[in-house]
Amino acid sequence: MDITQLRYFLKTAETLNYTRAAEAMFITRQSLRQSLGNLEAEVGAPLFSNEKNRLTLTEYGEYLAFAGQDVVKRFDDMSTELSRLVNQRARLRVAVSVSLLTFLLNGIEGVFKSFQDKFPHLQLEILTLTADEVVDAALRGEADCGILLQMPCPRPGCTVQVLKSFPAAVDFGDQMPLFGRESVTVRDLAGVPLVGMGSLEKVALPLWEACRREGIALDYQTMPNAIDAFYHIQHSLRAGLDVYFEKDEADIPNVISSHLSNYTWELALLCPDASPSAHLARLLCRHLEDAYRSL
């Protein structure tokens, strides 16, 4: 089965008329029938039924008519994207959460440069945004790829590629009431002033929904950058939602990291399915996976 055969079949399935389908595809009726016959022979089953000069789809034809539309669209999108790349008109807009640049993605500038070196005719545009803005840019199609730290959640219209998963934690300064606890639950956080790098409903949806179900009102504040968040945590102004690492207490004085039971973070890439540069975005994802495999 090739893409031309599939196009001929889809047009025939749409019109349910050999003559009109052939005219629409600018071929003869005989050529169309021959192409469809070869396709049916390859499939091993009839795709059309013709009773009393009335053409209908068989169950196999119904399936191919449904699934084939997506195949043709993806093929056309790929062809268009490749043409833009060849003609130096391809652009890839990548939104990166600013909080990750000195955290989990230290050195990403070099990774972007090596990707640009592999695709010198691609216009690579890096957008440094807050975590909330990264989500919005991906969901609205204003970015072709978004990179952020989030708790696992569905993103309709986006493919979510996970580079790494981490246990969730809450960081406490030594003046906080839960300082020294090895683990905490959501209920333990009720009344504790918290800080994080994105709004709960956008980057920590499982936690936000759990709080709503259990009637827990969190005292939560979104910080614009990691430096401000760390200041609040270290000086015991607020506890902080964080990734759990085995930390050396000498490196972070007066701060204890406690497991947040049953929650995880993921370093994720959001790739909008409708992006005109969707395939290039997935190539970047693979490049990042290779670069951060040992993260």
Q: CB–CB of 28/22 below 8 Å?
A: yes
Q: How many CA atoms lie within 13 A of 70 on its CB side?
A: 6
Give the pLDDT score at 60: 96
DSSP, res 293 = T
**Each residue's pLDDT tens digit, 15-72:** 999 999 999 999 999 999 999 999 999 999 999 999 988 999 999 999 999 999 999 9
72 to 15, 23, 28, 78, 279: CA distances (angstroms): 17, 20, 22, 10, 15
What band does 249 get if pLDDT is binned at 50, 70 and 90? very low
pLDDT for residue 294 is more than 70: no
CA angle, residues 195, 200, 204, in degrees to nearest 5: 105
**Each residue's pLDDT tens digit, 117-164:** 999 999 999 999 999 999 999 999 999 999 999 999 999 999 999 999
State the pairing for strand pair 183-184/255-272: parallel
pLDDT for residue 214 is more than 50: yes
What band does 250 get if pLDDT is binned at 50, 70 and 90? very low
For the chain, list the domains and their CATH numbers.
Answer: 3-86 (1.10.10.10), 90-295 (3.40.190.290)
pLDDT for residue 295 is more than 70: no
pLDDT for residue 246 is more than 70: no
What band does 247 get if pLDDT is binned at 50, 70 and 90? low
CA angle, residues 88, 91, 94, in degrees to nearest 5: 150
